[in-house]
Amino acid sequence: MSFKRVAVLLGGISPERDVSLVSGSACARALREDGFDVVEIDAGRDLATRLAEVRPDAVFNALHGRWGEDGCVQGVLELMAIPYTHSGVLASALAMHKERAKAAFRAAGVPVVKSIVADRHDASAKHLMTPPYVVKPVNQGSSVGVFIIRPGDNRPPGALGSAEWTLGDEVMIEEYVPGRELTVAVMGGKALAVTEIVPKTAFYDYEAKYADGGSSHVIPADVPEALSREAMQVAERAHIALGCRGVSRTDFRWDDKAGRLIVLEVNTQPGMTPTSLVPEQAAFKGMSFRSLVRWILEDASCDR
């Protein structure tokens, strides 16, 4: 399908707004360089009105986090019959809700660790799992609000029970997996490469993901060839299990001592910032950033 006028959705109202502004600006610039008529829309609650005014042929969705990545905006675009990029309503909603995504993974034989969902106040008051474990909001991205509880910690972080907490009342508590951080991008159902992420912080948190120098990326990852093949195959299975479309990115922990590879989550709208992993993997495979962005746009459709 040939598109001329493209609305790039960026910013938004989630805690990942700042990252989305950078992703969206980079994608809009690439599309303009490729000759498209691009309108950037900072997506607020008047999104449907703005889209009706702009009347784009397609939407490039560069939003991250809740509302933009969890099926809500996708539903608006389906209702308005505007072709859009990345995954559809169901896959987006499933991927954003970490525990429901795990149910889909388990059914597809994708390796995940045990976990429970609990009220944040209960999780703040006492250990609901034997340390070490991880506490994270059940439906946020970019490691927002994630805590690692280690052996010897007297209690979970008090921030979970505070009045300042704005990340939802449900949290997921899951077994902590030691080892190395790996990620695999899937494009059109085909895995691109395996990258090892080496964070400069205690773990791969928001700062490590987006701050300059927050982490280093090793591509291809220095891992056994058999493990690399396994990670790519599992990423493709995870992409299919959720019903993803376009580009996704699957994050792993490789417990090299225990010899197990665990899926942490699938990102249905991976970051497209200067430090982002998907553009790096595309470049490793010989695809420029402009070509990647154009491919994502040309894959846009409704009823995804």
pLDDT in tens, 259-285: 999 999 999 999 998 779 999 999 999
Q: Give the domain ranges of the chain.
A: 5-85+293-298, 94-112+178-292, 115-175
Q: Which CATH code is given to the segment(s) 94-112+178-292?
A: 3.30.470.20
Strand partners, 60: 8
Would you name the residues annotated as active-site residues?
A: 16, 142, 210, 249, 251, 265, 267, 271
| pLDDT tens-digit map of 62-80 | 999 889 999 999 999 999 9
Omega cis (within 30) before 220: yes
Per-residue pLDDT of the chain (304 residues; tens, 9 = 90+): 589 999 999 999 988 899 999 999 999 999 999 999 999 999 999 999 999 999 999 999 999 988 999 999 999 999 999 999 999 999 999 999 999 999 999 999 999 999 999 998 888 888 899 999 999 888 866 466 788 888 877 666 667 878 778 888 889 999 999 999 999 999 999 999 999 999 876 554 444 444 455 679 999 999 999 999 999 999 999 999 999 999 999 999 999 889 999 999 999 999 998 779 999 999 999 999 999 999 999 999 999 9
Q: In what order do the strands lie in the sheet with 58-61?
A: 37-42, 5-10, 58-61
Q: Residue 23 in contact with residue 62, Cβ under 8 Å?
A: yes
Q: Is the dihedral of CA 193, 198, 203, 209 positive or negative?
A: negative
Domains 5-85+293-298 and 94-112+178-292 share a fold: no
Residues 6+ apart with CB under 8 A from 63: 9, 10, 11, 12, 14, 20, 24, 43, 69, 73, 269
Is the pTM here over 0.85, yes or no? yes
Residues 6+ apart with CB under 8 A from 204: 143, 181, 197, 215
* CA–centroid distance for 116 within its chain: 21
Fold of 5-85+293-298: Rossmann fold (3.40.50)
Residues 6+ apart with CB under 8 A from 209: 19, 142, 143, 215, 271, 275
Amino acid (one-letter) located at 189: G
Instruction: Report phi then psi at 146, rounded to 5.
Output: -95, 135
